[in-house]
């Protein structure tokens, strides 16, 4: 059936895993225009349907896989998908995103999104074969890792072209930072959404699609998309991303003192070159892989050729990103690249967020260093910094929730609460989510972005990366000259409130379309104007740049309203004491701490949120067309 909505399939698949009821919900045009897709859709649906008090790992939680109007089209980098739920790691807005091909395949199968309610009694997986939807027995793959699951399901269905989003043992065991994997190494890692999948005993969603996506103006769209491909490929900032991928950031961020080391004790890792992009390229790389319709192909395809870890990996190839090199390397003081690659592969197979794993292990290593944990707590393990064997052992224990690993599987915040007051100083999280691979003391915009991101400490909710190294031309293109030089100075807190607000609104659009941040944020090629043109030509809606900006703002406000209802206020938009009171001890940022209050005030002013509480004002919500949300927040007396 052809959708009357161009660019969309027009259908959301809704499944209750308790009753096995399968329903197809039609999208309304007014809803689509207001919320666009992906994160926009989820923002409204989760706000309306998830109650404040529910257990994120209980059947009342909603799990939503979503795409947007550009997925599966010729616009570059459109194989992505997002997943949303109340997070078991933070208890607030949960969101995770991944590249690959699953998102485009879901569109070809005829669905813009899949919503899972309830929980199955026995392990199941979902098989979506175009419009045919089947809930199948997952007993043969329950207990298997993501690689085995991928293989076994392909054999069972007799089709190697299917796309599989699955959890490993970590998700089954409800590790609070378990993720979802596609194509073995593409991770929707954050917010512990893999644990929500595990709680519903849903092992995988398997998709095969063969339908077309109808566009409003196909010829014009293909012109626009072809131009976009060329601009992306020819952008001067793209060259390095193609050759090195994100791993080259290890050396670069270490050079500016921003590479998380020893649980963020410092931003300088003496062995950064040993685990960086250069050595990865020279010694391990066998190629690079691309997601659906991406001309860059940033995924570094690597192999371990010899040594004990190569034996353990049995000749299998792998992929690694900057975030994982940081989390499993510098953060744990581990400079052994072979070991880092093996640990990363283990996390992919178990279905674990490497940031959560590195965050948890770095934290317990520091607690051990400070005498807050002893061998009596650690199953006898000597948690000295950087021992690869200990890190590997802990990854196994976390995924299986064995002994001390059961404690680590709860995440940094819960661990710190249990260890005691002193440990909270070393718990590097915001709102319960581990801080990703940026030290805010060395880039103030990132410090603010970690504090304000709806899913907790996260670089991708705003992705304010233009001031990392400080490329003025790109900054002028987006923000004009009036904020220079302060805005491009990563150590200056001025104008960072403005910058983070603008970047958050842009990322809300990227996550709703659903396109890659590599193209929107870095390289900084596509901005509101380009995305407004693409979505207008695809859908036939006349969406101006101004309207798109307002949509981005609407989505961020809805995410905030969701969190406000969960009790979040300005007090939670904070950073660990280390970033606020413990100046960076060495390197180019020596003596720096994060001036968070100053930046937060500026941020709330630009958002037109109450600067005392950090809560959106009634006027702001109404101006964004969110009158019912304002009324709802008034009912619970927060505005």
Q: Is the dihedral angle over the CA atoms 210, 213, 214, 219 positive or is it negative?
A: negative
> 3-state SS of the chain: helix, strand, coil percent to 5?
45, 15, 40
- Decide: is 404 part of the binding site for another protein (CB under 8 A): no
CB of 270 to another protein, least distance (A): 14
Does residue number 470 form part of the binding site for another protein (CB under 8 A)? yes
Applying CB under 8 A, the site for another protein has a residue count of: 43
| 171 contributes a contact to another protein by CB under 8 A | no
Contact status, residue 589 vs residue 583, Cβ threshold 8 Å: no
Sole window of 254-262, 421-429, 564-572, 623-631 interacting with another protein (rule: CB under 8 A): 254-262
Query: SS3 of 634, please?
Result: helix
Q: Cβ closer to another protein: 235 or 424?
A: 235
For residues 250 and 357, what is the distance between their CA atoms, to the nearest angstrom?
18
First CA to last CA across the chain, in angstroms? 45
Greatest Cα-to-Cα distance within the chain, rounded to the nearest angstrom: 68
| Position 278 contacts another protein (CB under 8 A) | yes
Candidates 148, 312, 471, 582; binder of another protein (CB under 8 A) is 471
Piece in contact with another protein (CB under 8 A), picked from 15-23, 243-251, 301-309, 312-320: 243-251
Is residue 232 part of the contact set for another protein (CB under 8 A)? no
Per DSSP, what are the bridge partners of residue 125? 136, 204
**Which candidate, 517, 501, 510, places its Cα nearest to that of 448?**
501
Smallest gap from Cβ 277 to another protein, in A, equals: 7
Q: Does 472 contact another protein by CB under 8 A?
A: yes
Return d(Cα 193, Cα 179) in angstroms, integer. Answer: 6
The nearest distance, CB 607 to another protein, in angstroms, is 25
> Least Å distance between CB 474 and another protein?
8
- H or E element that contains 341: helix 337-350
| Residue 196 or 256 having the CB closest to another protein | 256
Contact 180, 351 (CB under 8 A): yes
Q: Is 477 in the site for another protein (CB under 8 A)?
A: no
Q: According to the binding rule CB under 8 A, does residue 610 interact with another protein?
A: no
Q: Which residues contact 376 (CB under 8 A, 6 or more apart)?
A: none
Under the criterion CB under 8 A, does residue 462 sit at the interface with another protein?
no
241 near another protein, rule: CB under 8 A: yes
Determine contact, residues 62/85, Cβ cutoff 8 Å: yes
- Any contact of residue 269 with another protein (CB under 8 A)? no
243 is an interface residue for another protein by CB under 8 A: yes
The CB-of-492 to another protein minimum distance in angstroms stands at 8
Query: Are 511 and 463 contacting, i.e. CB atoms less than 8 angstroms apart?
Result: no
Residue 395 C-beta: closest distance to another protein, Å: 22
Distance CA 158, CA 136 (A): 15
112 vs 468, beta carbon nearer another protein: 468
3-state SS class at 126: strand
> In terms of CB distance, is 419 or 466 closer to another protein?
466
Q: Which of 146, 488, 551, 563 binds another protein (CB under 8 A)?
A: 488
- Cα 428 from Cα 426, distance rounded (Å): 6
Q: Does 595 bind another protein (CB under 8 A)?
A: no
Instruction: Please tell me whether residue 48 binds another protein under the rule CB under 8 A.
Output: no
- x-or-dash pattern for another protein, window 542-581, by CB under 8 A? ----------------------------------------
Separation of alpha carbons 24 and 38, rounded Å: 17
Smaller CB distance to another protein: residue 151 or 281?
Answer: 281
Scanning residues 183 to 202, which ones bind another protein (CB under 8 A)?
none
Looking at residues 423 to 442 of the shown chain, list those that interact with another protein (rule: CB under 8 A): 437-438
Q: Is residue 464 part of the contact set for another protein (CB under 8 A)? A: no
As a whole number of angstroms, the distance between CA 214 and CA 212 comes to: 6
Under the binding rule (CB under 8 A), the answer on residue 588 touching another protein is yes
Give me 68's structure tokens.
């947007």
Q: Give the residue, chosen from 521, 552, 576, 614, that forms a contact with another protein under the rule CB under 8 A.
A: 521
What's the alpha-carbon Rg for the chain, to the nearest Å? 23
Q: How far is the CB of 250 from another protein (least distance, A)?
A: 10
- Minimum Å gap between C-beta 256 and another protein is 5
User: Could you please report the per-residue DSSP string of 72-102?
Assistant: TSSSSS---EEEEEE-TTTSSEEEEEE-SSH
Whether the CB-CB separation of 224 and 216 falls below 8 Å is answered with no
Should residue 639 be labelled a site residue for another protein when binding is judged by CB under 8 A?
no
d(Cα 492, Cα 489) in Å, to the nearest integer?
5
Q: Is 587 in the site for another protein (CB under 8 A)?
A: yes
Query: What distances in angstroms separate CA 443 from CA 90, 127, 290, 496, 593, one per listed residue?
Result: 24, 44, 29, 10, 10
- What token pair was written down for 105? 């395949």
Pick one of 142, 177, 522, 528: the residue that binds another protein (CB under 8 A): 522
> Among residues 423, 566, 589, 633, which is the contact residue for another protein, using CB under 8 A?
589
Q: Which stretch binds another protein (CB under 8 A): 378-386, 504-512, 553-561, 583-591?
A: 583-591
Instruction: Please tell me the distance from the alpha carbon of residue 94 to that of residue 105, in angstroms, as a whole number.
Output: 23
Q: Segment contacting another protein (CB under 8 A): 35-43, 108-116, 471-479, 615-623?
A: 471-479
Tokens of 212: 């077309």
Q: Can residue 485 be called a binding residue for another protein (CB under 8 A)?
A: yes
Q: Output 475 or 630, the one with its CB closest to another protein.
A: 475
**Is residue 99 within the footprint of another protein (CB under 8 A)?**
no
- E strand residue ranges, 172-298: 180-182, 186-188, 202-208, 285-289
- Cis, peptide link before residue 523, omega less than 30° from 0: yes
Among 161, 236, 567, 583, binds another protein (CB under 8 A): 236
The single residue listed with the structure tokens 């209802």 is 565
> Is the CB of 50 or the CB of 520 nearer to another protein?
520
Q: Interface with another protein by CB under 8 A: which range of 75-83, 101-109, 468-476, 571-579?
A: 468-476
- Subset of residues 311 to 330 that bind another protein, contact rule: CB under 8 A: 321-323
Contact partners, residue 362, CB within 8 Å, separation at least 6: 262, 263, 264, 327, 331, 332, 428
Site of interaction with another protein (CB under 8 A):
236-237, 239-241, 243-244, 246, 248-249, 251-253, 255-257, 277-278, 321-323, 437-438, 459, 465-466, 468-474, 485, 488-489, 518, 521-523, 587-589
């Amino acid at each position: 059936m052809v959708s009357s909505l161009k660019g969309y399939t027009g259908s959301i698949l809704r499944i209750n895993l308790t009753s096995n009821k399968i329903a197809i919900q039609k999208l309304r045009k007014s809803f689509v225009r207001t919320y666009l897709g992906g994160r926009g859709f989820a923002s409204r649906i989760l706000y309306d349907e998830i109650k404040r008090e529910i257990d994120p790992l209980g059947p009342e939680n909603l799990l939503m896989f979503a795409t947007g109007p550009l997925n599966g089209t010729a616009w570059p980098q459109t194989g992505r998908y997002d997943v949303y739920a109340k997070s078991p790691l933070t208890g607030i807005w949960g969101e995770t995103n991944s590249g690959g091909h699953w998102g485009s395949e879901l569109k070809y199968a005829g669905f813009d999104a899949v919503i899972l309610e309830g929980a199955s009694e026995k392990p199941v997986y979902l098989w979506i074969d175009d419009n045919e939807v089947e809930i199948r027995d997952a007993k043969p793959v329950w207990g298997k890792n993501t690689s085995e699951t991928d293989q076994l399901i392909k054999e069972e269905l007799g089709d190697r072209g299917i796309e599989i989003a699955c959890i490993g043992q970590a998700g089954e065991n409800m590790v609070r930072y378990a993720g979802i994997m596609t194509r073995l190494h593409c991770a929707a890692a954050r917010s512990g959404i893999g644990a929500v999948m595990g709680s519903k005993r849903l092992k995988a969603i398997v998709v095969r699609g063969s339908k077309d996506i109808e566009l409003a103006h196909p010829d014009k769209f293909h012109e626009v998309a072809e131009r976009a491909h060329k601009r992306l490929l020819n952008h001067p900032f793209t060259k390095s991303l193609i050759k090195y991928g994100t791993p080259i950031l290890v050396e670069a961020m270490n050079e500016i003192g921003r590479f998380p080391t020893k649980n963020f004790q410092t931003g300088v890792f003496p062995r950064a070159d040993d685990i960086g992009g250069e050595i990865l390229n020279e010694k391990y790389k066998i190629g690079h892989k691309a997601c659906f319709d991406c001309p860059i192909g940033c995924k570094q395809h690597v192999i371990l050729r010899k040594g004990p870890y190569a034996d353990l990996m049995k000749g299998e190839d792998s992929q690694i990103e900057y975030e994982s090199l940081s989390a499993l390397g510098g953060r744990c003081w581990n400079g052994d690249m072979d070991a880092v690659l093996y640990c990363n592969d283990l996390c992919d197979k178990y279905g674990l967020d490497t940031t959560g794993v590195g965050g948890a292990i770095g934290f317990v290593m520091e607690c051990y260093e400070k005498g807050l944990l002893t061998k009596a707590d650690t199953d006898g393990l000597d948690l000295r910094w950087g021992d690869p064997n200990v890190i590997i052992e802990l990854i196994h224990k976390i995924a299986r929730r064995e002994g001390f690993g059961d404690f680590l599987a709860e995440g940094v915040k819960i661990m710190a609460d249990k260890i005691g007051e002193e440990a909270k100083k070393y718990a590097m999280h915001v709102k319960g989510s581990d801080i990703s691979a940026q030290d805010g003391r060395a880039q103030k915009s990132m410090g603010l972005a970690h504090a304000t991101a709806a899913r907790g400490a996260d670089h991708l909710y705003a992705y304010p990366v233009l001031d990392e190294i400080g490329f003025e031309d790109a900054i002028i293109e987006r923000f004009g000259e009036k904020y220079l030089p302060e805005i491009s100075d990563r150590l200056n807190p001025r104008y960072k409130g403005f910058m983070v607000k603008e970047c958050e609104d842009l990322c809300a659009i990227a996550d709703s379309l659903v396109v890659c941040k590599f193209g929107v944020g870095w390289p900084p090629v596509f901005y509101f104007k380009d995305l407004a043109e693409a979505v207008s030509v695809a859908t036939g809606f006349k969406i101006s740049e101004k309207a798109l900006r307002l949509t981005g703002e609407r989505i961020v406000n809805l995410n905030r309203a969701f969190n406000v209802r969960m009790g979040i206020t300005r007090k939670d938009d904070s950073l660990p004491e280390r970033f606020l009171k413990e100046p960076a001890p060495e390197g180019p940022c020596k003596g720096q701490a994060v001036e968070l209050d100053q930046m937060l005030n500026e941020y709330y002013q630009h958002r037109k949120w109450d600067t005392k509480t950090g809560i959106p004002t009634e006027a702001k919500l109404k101006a964004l067309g969110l009158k019912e949300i304002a009324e709802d927040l008034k009912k619970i007396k927060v505005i």
